């Protein structure tokens, strides 16, 4: 091959090698260029597929929630305490309004008064075309929604829409408001049962899914999927609306009677099971309008603050006032129990044998107790003198209880406090429960180091706090045989199809004292009402037991930083004492000194609980019995119609009553008062011979501050009978503090007026 040919062959080989290298380089660069795209595609189509698929679905579909019907709340008799009613939300579609060239000014002027909004604000919502859904009315009533529908149809308007929803209503208004709670604007439970059982009550929200196009316009003949909502479960409470009403009525009466400054609280519980029949905090609020301040004085104060122009201070005060009226003090607030705690101290000392019924004490009115730096004073400055264990409780003697605590000792005292549940929450099925504040263990057990001040003060319920519910649960264990039960307020949760989802059963937490000790304590607690400081709680026909309490509020100061000597007066009552079933607490926070009535649990709280028990025991089916002390005061008259004059006179005389006859027939044809009425011994019964009882009216006298004899004389003069409740003593300090019919009322002649007597000089 020639030189020329060889050079040409070399060039061909060179060109071929370069070409291959160029192709390989180009191919490599091309592959590298596609790597990011491949990675991006992998991320979009594999790794992040779910995210982008959901995003695409959201861009192409509109989801409209379908509100679930919230479950109903019932009392134990299936009275509706909370229910949902159908209402409507009103919203505008600015795009539709713009496309249909609707008269926005006319629409705004029409809607504004119906939805309680400013017309200009509605115009602004209608002009906001960045949104397809602008709500202008929330939960309007069906009659209002009907007017809006008629307006839409009459004016052929596109862009005003109405969607169904529900609103919570509370038929009994303020009744048990802190227990039931309320729902917020999102239909979520807030406070009380509504919050604690929200998961059961709320149900499951449904939804409607439809396709949409540009500007979120609905697409004709498009896809639609409907996922139905699931209604919530209903909740049945142990609460009894009638018992609750009685409790609240009597607390409200006490607030007015004693000019109570900071409201009242109380509860009624089944001693044996822990079921709550009633629980109240007054002043209350209406859950139908939960944002409104119910207390007129507080409302006026807030209005004045608002008018001052300090918006920040106003909003803070408004928020605090709302939280205060929503708060359930029975389970959330600790207070100093005072002498009501003595029941627990005595039960502990008797149970462990530190004392017995014959243990002797001596009260001089004041004493320097070993281990205390200050002299201890009894509420009775003159002292109680010599007394045994029963009298120590009847007299509510602080000196005696200080010595009981010393005999009991710090270790055993603290052990029993733990048994009674004072150091723990009760476990009630309501949110917001606290457990109070008790001494550190060392303060009551290490008396060599810390002295006996905490031990002795604790024995009569001072210088610590516990909740009303803790106290009631503990005392219930003292009288029910010694079992500490767990309080509960929901008995059953029922699904929408009627199946029981949850059922509460009584739960015994532990034993606190022996049954024999409980039996002894029942007798002692009963004697406090028959012979001690709680005579004002007496209810004729029922064996009532209980303990009074008067305590100073801890850590309360005035605007000058001085400690305020405000008091909480309370009483815990139990009935019937032969077989205790119901326990009632009533506490009045800061009664006013301006009434002139001595501030004490015995004077104020004991008759309040007596009135509550008088109302609820007959309703709850507790049968009356003729007790020895009742038989000496009043008798129940029988039906004397059909008897001759002599037969009727003889029957009345046997009961300690006299007769006044009218007419000349041989037999009795009518009588005043009617058969079954209870009248005081010595009363005169009107019997008519051949005549009808006259239908005449008389005026009710003002019995206030009268003693028994004065009240009897006034009743006889007016032509009415009186039924005496409360303190049975014939003492100058025992006077009428309440009457069931107001003075000046017109009633038929022979009517019976119930009078509440109380010893206004009683203490503790």
- Domains of the chain by residue range: 3-47, 63-74+82-174+206-227, 634-759
pLDDT at 230: 82
Please choose, from the candidates 199, 192, 201, the residue with its C-alpha nearest in 3D space to the C-alpha of residue 431.
192
CA distance 597 to 738: 13
Judge whether residue 728 has pLDDT over 60: yes
169: helix, coil or strand?
strand
% pLDDT > 90, the chain: 52
Sequential DSSP letters for 476-517:
HHHHTTSEEEPPBSEEEEE-TTS-EEEE----EEEE-S-HHH
In 46-141, which residue ranges form alpha helices assigned H by DSSP?
A: 49-60, 94-99, 104-115, 119-127
Judge whether residue 559 has pLDDT over 70: no
Judge whether residue 265 has pLDDT over 90: yes
> What is the phi/psi pair of residue 253, to 5°?
-60, -40
CA distance 423 to 414: 10
**pLDDT bucket at 369, cuts 50 / 70 / 90:** very high
CA distance 211 to 487: 52
Neighbouring-strand partners of residue 670: 688
**Neighbour-count burial of 596, counting CB atoms closer than 10 A to its CB (0-12 exposed, 13-18 middle, 19+ buried):** exposed
Are 668 and 638 in contact by the 8 Å Cβ rule? The answer is: no
pLDDT at 142: 80
162: helix, coil or strand?
strand
β 678-680/658-663 pair status: unpaired
Are 648 and 630 in contact by the 8 Å Cβ rule? The answer is: no
**pLDDT bucket at 93, cuts 50 / 70 / 90:** confident
> What is the phi/psi pair of residue 627, to 5°?
-80, 155
* Mean pLDDT score across all residues of the chain: 86
List b or e across 135-166, with b for residues whose CB sees 16 or more CB atoms inside 10 angstroms: ebbbbbeeebbeebeebbeeeebebbbeeebb
Please choose, from the candidates 477, 483, 486, 479, the residue with its C-alpha nearest in 3D space to the C-alpha of residue 505.
486
pLDDT at 96: 81
CA distance 547 to 522: 11
CA distance 172 to 82: 8
Judge whether residue 461 has pLDDT over 50: yes
pLDDT digits (tens, 9 = 90+) for 470-515: 999 999 999 999 999 999 999 999 999 899 999 999 999 999 999 9
Average pLDDT of the segment spanning 374-385? 90
CA distance 278 to 556: 29
% pLDDT > 70, the chain: 87
* CATH T-level topology, domain 634-759: Trypsin Inhibitor V; Chain A (3.30.10)
Judge whether residue 391 has pLDDT over 90: yes
Average pLDDT of the segment spanning 691-708? 88
Give the range among 220-234, 321-335, 588-602 with minimum mean pLDDT. 220-234
Domain 63-74+82-174+206-227 has CATH 3.30.70.2110: yes
pLDDT at 724: 83
pLDDT at 16: 61
- In sequence order, the 6+-apart residues with CB closer than 8 A to the CB of 349 are 355, 404, 407, 408
- In sequence order, the 6+-apart residues with CB closer than 8 A to the CB of 549 are 337, 338, 339, 340, 341, 461, 569, 570, 571, 572, 601, 605, 764
pLDDT at 51: 67
Average pLDDT of the segment spanning 409-419? 96
Are 541 and 517 in contact by the 8 Å Cβ rule? The answer is: no
> What is the phi/psi pair of residue 242, to 5°?
-70, -45
pLDDT digits (tens, 9 = 90+) for 105-152: 888 888 888 888 888 888 888 888 777 778 888 778 888 888 888 888
pLDDT digits (tens, 9 = 90+) for 179-234: 999 998 878 898 999 999 999 998 776 655 555 555 555 554 454 555 566 889 99
Sequential DSSP letters for 577-614:
TTS--EEEEEEEE---GGG-S--SIIIIIHHHHHHHHH
Judge whether residue 68 has pLDDT over 60: yes
β 658-663/684-689 pair status: parallel
Are 494 and 480 in contact by the 8 Å Cβ rule? The answer is: no
Q: What is the DSSP letter of 215?
A: G
Question: How far is CA 629 from each of CA 363, 527, 543, 626, 634, rounded to the nearest angstrom?
Answer: 29, 12, 10, 8, 9
Are 443 and 487 in contact by the 8 Å Cβ rule? The answer is: no
- In sequence order, the 6+-apart residues with CB closer than 8 A to the CB of 379 are 396, 398, 550, 763, 764
pLDDT at 221: 44
Are 595 and 642 in contact by the 8 Å Cβ rule? The answer is: no
CA distance 472 to 340: 10
107: helix, coil or strand?
helix
Question: How far is CA 720 from each of CA 233, 630, 676, 704, 746, rounded to the nearest angstrom?
Answer: 53, 20, 16, 16, 11
Average pLDDT of the segment spanning 537-565? 77
pLDDT at 17: 65
In angstroms, how far is CA 222 from the centroid of its own chain? 52
**pLDDT bucket at 318, cuts 50 / 70 / 90:** very high
């Amino acid at each position: 091959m020639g030189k020329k040919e060889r050079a040409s062959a070399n060039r061909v080989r060179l060109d071929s090698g370069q070409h291959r290298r160029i192709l390989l380089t180009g191919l490599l660069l091309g592959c590298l260029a596609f790597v990011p795209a491949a990675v991006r595609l992998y991320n979009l189509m594999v790794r992040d597929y779910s995210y982008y698929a959901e995003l695409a679905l959201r861009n192409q579909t509109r989801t409209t929630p379908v509100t679930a019907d919230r479950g109903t709340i019932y009392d134990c008799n299936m009275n509706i305490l909370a229910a949902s009613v159908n209402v409507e939300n009103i919203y505008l579609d600015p795009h539709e309004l713009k496309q249909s060239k609707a008269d926005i000014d006319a629409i705004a002027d029409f809607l504004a008064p119906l939805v309680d909004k400013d017309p200009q604000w509605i115009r602004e919502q209608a002009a906001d075309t960045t949104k397809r859904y602008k709500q202008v009315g929330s939960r309007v009533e069906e009659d209002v929604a009907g007017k809006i529908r008629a307006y839409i149809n009459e004016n052929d308007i596109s862009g005003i829409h109405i969607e169904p929803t529900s609103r919570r209503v509370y038929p009994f208004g303020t009744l048990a408001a802190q227990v039931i709670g309320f729902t917020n604007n999102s239909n979520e439970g807030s406070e009380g049962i509504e919050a604690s059982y929200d998961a059961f009550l709320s149900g499951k929200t449904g939804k409607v899914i439809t396709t949409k196009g540009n500007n979120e316009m609905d697409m004709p003949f498009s896809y639609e999927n409907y996922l139905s909502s699931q209604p919530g479960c209903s909740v049945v409470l142990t609460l009894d609306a009638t018992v609750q009403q009685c409790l609240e009525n009597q607390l409200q009466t006490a607030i007015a009677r004693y000019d109570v400054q900071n409201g009242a609280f109380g509860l009624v519980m089944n001693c044996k099971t822990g079921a709550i029949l009633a629980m109240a905090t007054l002043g209350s609020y209406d859950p139908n309008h939960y944002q409104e301040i119910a207390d007129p004085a507080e409302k006026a104060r807030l209005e004045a603050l608002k008018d001052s122009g300090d918006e920040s201070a106003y909003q803070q005060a408004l928020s605090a006032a709302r939280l205060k009226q929503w708060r359930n003090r029975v389970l959330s607030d600790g207070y100093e129990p005072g002498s009501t705690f003595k029941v627990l101290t005595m039960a502990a000392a008797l149970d462990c044998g530190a004392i017995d019924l014959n243990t002797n004490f001596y009260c001089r009115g004041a004493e320097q107790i070993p281990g205390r730096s200050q002299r201890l004073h009894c509420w009775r400055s003159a002292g109680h003198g010599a007394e045994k264990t029963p009298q120590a409780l009847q007299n509510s003697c602080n000196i005696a209880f200080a010595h009981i605590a010393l005999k009991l000792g710090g270790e055993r005292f603290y052990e029993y406090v733990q048994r009674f549940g004072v150091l723990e929450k009760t476990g009630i099925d309501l949110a917001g429960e606290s457990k109070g504040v008790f001494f550190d263990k060392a303060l009551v057990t290490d008396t060599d180091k810390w002295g006996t001040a905490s031990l002795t003060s604790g024995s009569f319920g001072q210088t610590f706090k516990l909740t009303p519910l803790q106290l009631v649960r503990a005392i219930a264990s003292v009288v029910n045989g010694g079992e500490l039960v767990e309080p509960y307020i929901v008995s059953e949760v029922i699904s929408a199809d009627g199946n029981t989802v949850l059922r509460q059963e009584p739960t015994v937490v532990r034993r606190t004292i022996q049954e024999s000790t409980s039996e002894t304590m029942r007798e002692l607690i009963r004697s406090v009402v028959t012979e001690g400081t709680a005579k004002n709680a007496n209810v004729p026909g029922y064996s009532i037991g209980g303990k009074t309490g008067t305590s100073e509020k801890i850590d309360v100061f005035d605007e000058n930083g001085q400690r305020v000597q405000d008091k909480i007066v309370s009483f815990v009552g139990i009935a019937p004492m032969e077989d205790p079933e119901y326990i009632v607490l009533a506490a009045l926070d800061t009664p006013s000194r301006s009434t002139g009535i001595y501030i004490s649990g015995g004077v104020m709280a004991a008759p309040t609980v007596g009135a509550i028990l008088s109302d609820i025991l007959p309703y709850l089916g507790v049968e009356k019995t003729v007790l020895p002390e009742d038989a000496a005061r009043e008798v129940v008259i029988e039906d004397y119609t059909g008897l001759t004059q002599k037969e009727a006179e003889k029957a009345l005389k046997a009961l300690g009553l006299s007769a006044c006859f009218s007419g000349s027939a041989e037999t009795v044809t009518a009588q005043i008062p009617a058969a079954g009425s209870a009248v005081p011994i010595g009363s005169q019964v009107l019997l008519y011979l051949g005549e009808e009882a006259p239908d005449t009216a008389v005026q009710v006298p003002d019995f206030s501050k009268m003693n028994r004899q004065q009240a009897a004389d006034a009743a006889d003069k007016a032509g009415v009978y009186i039924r005496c409740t409360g303190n049975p003593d014939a003492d100058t300090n025992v006077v009428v503090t309440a009457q069931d019919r107001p003075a000046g009322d017109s009633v038929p002649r022979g009517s019976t007026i119930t009078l509440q007597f109380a010893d206004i000089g009683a203490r503790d």
